[in-house]
């Protein structure tokens, strides 16, 4: 049997996962503000990463695994004419810290898990990623302008996360 060319080998692979074939799990605290999964427009998926630690020996560095970390991730929310998404973001952030008193809450009061699933071309779930211990950290700024007739507002929210599991 002759060897397959690289192109022939590539054509034997399964269909690709696509960036637009995904569904988020329930929006944590979303029901309190009328925000469901239809408000989630983009979702970045972070993964566990292992930091490298350099140890100097024999005139150079040797590298070893250090602590693990999960990068923060961003979610973009649809900004509706009722302000639900912004109320949702500010409401969840107020569960983290009272901006009036300066008092922080305990993590069980504000940390929540969030899931997002990747779908195959037929719409079946292929992979679900569980992001554990999420809470809203940095909220992106909104640029308001009179130029070009403007465009719709979205809210970019950065979330801290403790752990990532691929299910």
- Per-residue pLDDT reduced to its tens digit, 19-52: 999 999 999 999 999 999 999 999 999 999 999 9
DSSP secondary structure code for residue 123 in this structure: S
3-state secondary structure of 106: coil
From the centroid of its chain, how far is CA 65? Answer: 25
Query: What mean pLDDT, rounded, does the chain reach?
Result: 94
CA–CA separation, 37 and 83 (whole Å)? 16
Model confidence, pTM: 0.87
Who's near 141: CB < 8 A, 6+ residues apart?
none
Q: Tell me the two tokens of residue 164.
A: 């990532």
pLDDT of residue 145: 85
- Distance of alpha carbon 86 from alpha carbon 107, whole angstroms: 22
Rounded-to-integer distance, Cα 114 and Cα 43, Å: 11
Q: In this structure, are residues 123 and 21 in contact, taking their beta carbons and an 8 Å threshold?
A: yes
Q: What is the pLDDT of residue 151?
A: 87
Other CB atoms within 10 A of residue 165 CB? 13
């Amino acid at each position: 049997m002759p060897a397959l060319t690289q192109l022939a080998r590539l054509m034997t692979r399964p269909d690709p996962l696509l960036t637009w074939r995904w569904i988020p799990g329930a929006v944590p605290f979303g029901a309190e503000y009328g925000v469901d999964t239809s408000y989630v427009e983009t979702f970045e998926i972070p993964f566990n990463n292992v930091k490298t630690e350099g140890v100097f020996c024999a005139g150079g560095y040797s590298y070893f695994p250090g602590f693990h970390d999960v990068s923060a991730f961003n979610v973009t929310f649809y900004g509706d004419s009722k302000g639900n998404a912004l109320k949702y973001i500010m409401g969840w952030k107020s569960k983290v810290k009272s901006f009036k008193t300066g008092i922080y809450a305990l993590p069980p009061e504000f940390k929540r898990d969030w899931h997002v699933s990747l779908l195959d071309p037929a719409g079946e779930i292929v992979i679900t990623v569980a992001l554990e211990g999420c809470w809203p950290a940095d909220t992106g700024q909104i640029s308001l302008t009179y130029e070009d007739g403007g465009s719709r507002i979205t809210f970019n929210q950065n979330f801290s996360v403790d752990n990532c599991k691929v299910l």
